[in-house]
Amino acid sequence: MTNRVPDRAGRHELAIRRMGIDTYNEPIVYLRRDSAVCRAEGFEAQARIRLSTQRKSIIATLNVVSAELLDQNEAGLSEAAWRLLSPVDGEHAHAAHPEPVHSLSAVRGKIHGEMLGAGAIGEIVRDVAAGRYSPVETAAFLTACAGERMSHAETVALTRAMLSEGRRLSWPFAPIVDKHCIGGLPGNRTTPMVVAIVAAAGLVIPKTSSRAITSPAGTADTMEVLTPVELDLAAMRRVVEKEGGCLVWGGGIGISPVDDILIRIERLLDFDSDGQLAASVLSKKAAAGSTHVVIDMPVGPTAKVRSAAQAARLSRLMTEVGAEVGLSVEVLQTDGTAPVGRGIGPALEARDLLQVLQCDSGAPPDLRARSIALAAAVLEMGGRARRGAGSDLAAQLLDSGRAWTKFQAICAAQGGLRTPPRAAFQRVFEASAGGRLAAIDNRRLARIAKLSGAPKAPAAGVELHVALGSAIERGQPLLTLHAESRGALDYAAEFAEEGGMALTIEA
């Protein structure tokens, strides 16, 4: 070829501006339509674009700006793009067309019915982790894997690939026990009791929990009304070394970062597949350094797992895939037809769990029973009780006050035990007719709790006064809405009034 071209590095240099626009984890770059770079490169809205500084380079989606939001020589960054590019002061960037993301051809192959090899899955997961997949591309990957289209081998490979992204913890103890709940059941806040009981029995359980994404409270939200949960890894290690257990937020630890990206898109689509679910849970547990995991799987018509067939299939998958990544997994199928405990929302759930830990005579019996059952399974797996004897040991640790003592010690190590707040605004809803409480719509109840402000308003939520199957008299209190503002209370009440209370009372 003739005509050597001069080096063009430094052309279309762009000043970087943080736009202050939160698009969750989707990196967006904003450029003026009339900027030199848009005109020269032919960039159009929603195009994929590579933005690079001297030190870093990201792939982002382009939004084209026509108004006075930016100067012509500026590149605006969404919060996610800002985090990924992490520019230093005064640093400049340049924009280019990105090279095609190679692993997307494997996704297209999967769409056309090919199996994904471990190498291809590893590449996909690395690209997702690096933010090289747009949400639309991630959705295509998830959809191609859904509907039971993932083989056992693919699920194992996905679990391993997710495991190898992000940090992996190791502990100078063995075994490391853990428990996990496959969500969908409001108020099912057994983790604090399980941790307190099994740590009191001398097992090591470095428990990380998530905040709510679509629910009224995650375990981390509930624990946060009782004690600080945003510990970094060093602080978490100190708590675990001292007390044998912790109850912290997992987001500060940095394990399995891919999972967050995939889960967010799955929630937007409102589906997940067994394979994705198994890979998500198991990669997180293995990354946390766990060796023995008990999985609480509520089964019921409005829970996440809705049928016995699905429960059986998913249980087998989790056990088998767990074994392949070095995890002993035991699945406990539990009743998913009704909420557990009385409170739905961080502080209301914290009150329930304190009652259970303190052996208060008014403690919700279902929450106590379920906590004991799960702790029993962990105690048996961890070798502290022989098969069948776990329940007695768990109940004894609870009733003797040793679990409560351990819980207080863990909270003290995390920064101190606090008293849960009470909501300033409450409204009681009474039964307009008598009968029997025949059904509870968990999803709707969760919605009402969220509309009342949970989990952002920690005192907000729903307090349930009646249990499934019980006889109801006209005028009997059914539930109380709790809110931190009059507006939120009215809003949740209006929703409940208009669409029904999520409780089916049969005459």
Tell me which residue has tokens 């970087």. 16
Distances 479 to 109, 426, 485 between C-alpha atoms, Å? 52, 10, 18
Site string for a second copy, 261-300 (x = CB under 8 A): ---xx--xxxx-----------------------------
| Strand-pair partners of 435 | 472
Site for a second copy in 68-107 (CB under 8 A): 68-69, 78-79, 97, 100, 104
CB contact at 8 A, 185 and 298: yes
337 Cβ contact partners less than 8 Å away, ≥ 6 residues apart = 300, 301, 303, 439, 440, 468
Using CB under 8 A, which of 13, 53, 64, 152 touches a second copy?
A: 64
Site for a second copy in 132-151 (CB under 8 A): 134-140, 142-144, 146-148
Does residue 501 sit in helix, strand or coil? coil
Does residue 139 sit in helix, strand or coil? helix
Using CB under 8 A, which of 15, 36, 130, 359 touches a second copy?
A: 36
Residue 350 binds a second copy (CB under 8 A) = no
Let me know if 34 is a catalytic residue: no
Q: Give yes or no for a cis peptide into 172 (omega within 30° of 0).
A: no
Distances 115 to 108, 251, 271 between C-alpha atoms, Å? 11, 32, 21
Helices marked H in 233-339: 233-243, 257-269, 274-287, 308-324
Instruction: Tell me the two tokens of residue 252.
Output: 């500060």
In the complex, what is the shortest distance from the CB of residue 206 to a second copy, in angstroms, rounded to a whole number? 28
In the complex, what is the shortest distance from the CB of residue 165 to a second copy, in angstroms, rounded to a whole number? 21
CB-wise, 350 or 488, nearer to a second copy?
488
Site for a second copy in 353-382 (CB under 8 A): none
Distances 365 to 71, 396, 480 between C-alpha atoms, Å? 63, 16, 19
Residue 387 binds a second copy (CB under 8 A) = no
Using CB under 8 A, which of 13, 15, 33, 312 touches a second copy?
A: 33
Residue 309 binds a second copy (CB under 8 A) = no
CB-wise, 41 or 91, nearer to a second copy?
41
Query: How many whole angstroms separate alpha carbon 121 and alpha carbon 140?
Result: 14
Residue 231 binds a second copy (CB under 8 A) = no
Dihedral angle over CA of 163, 167, 168, 170, nearest 10: -170
Residue 451 binds a second copy (CB under 8 A) = yes
CB-wise, 365 or 475, nearer to a second copy?
475
| Strand-pair partners of 463 | 343, 480
Across the beta sheet with 503-506, the strand order is: 471-472, 435-440, 503-506
Site for a second copy in 454-493 (CB under 8 A): 454, 456, 485, 487-488, 490-491, 493
Residue type, 468: L
Residue 440 binds a second copy (CB under 8 A) = no
- Of the candidate spans 128-136, 159-167, 236-244, 289-297, the one that interacts with a second copy by CB under 8 A turns out to be 128-136
Using CB under 8 A, which of 20, 119, 301, 383 touches a second copy?
A: 20
List the catalytic residue out of 127, 272, 274, 366.
272
Using CB under 8 A, which of 10, 42, 172, 362 touches a second copy?
A: 42
CB-wise, 138 or 227, nearer to a second copy?
138
In the complex, what is the shortest distance from the CB of residue 144 to a second copy, in angstroms, rounded to a whole number? 6
Distances 129 to 25, 156, 357 between C-alpha atoms, Å? 11, 18, 40
CB-wise, 319 or 480, nearer to a second copy?
480
CB-wise, 407 or 429, nearer to a second copy?
429
Site for a second copy in 100-119 (CB under 8 A): 100, 104, 108, 111-113
Distances 279 to 38, 271, 284, 314, 326 between C-alpha atoms, Å? 41, 15, 8, 11, 13
- Residue positions annotated with a catalytic role: 272
